[in-house]
Amino acid sequence: MIVDCQMFHLLGMKDTGFDVAQDKMHRLAKTYKNGSEGKLV
């Protein structure tokens, strides 16, 4: 993949990508959105 070879690899980002392996899901940041009452959920 061009982005992997030309950007991630050159920056030393060897654990960066577009998909998360099952064994690394615990490292994925949680995302939040505004609920119907305007609170983050």
- Give the model confidence (pLDDT) of 1-41 as tens digits: 666 667 777 888 777 777 888 998 998 888 999 999 999 99
The CA distance from 21 to 15, in Å, is 10
The owner of tokens 């960066």 is 16
Q: Which two tokens stand for residue 29?
A: 């940041």
Domain residue extents for the chain: 1-41
Q: Do the Cβ atoms of 40 and 33 come closer than 8 Å?
A: yes
Task: Give the pLDDT of residue 1.
Answer: 61
Tell me, yes or no, if the pTM score tops 0.75.
Answer: no
Q: Which two tokens stand for residue 21?
A: 């392996």
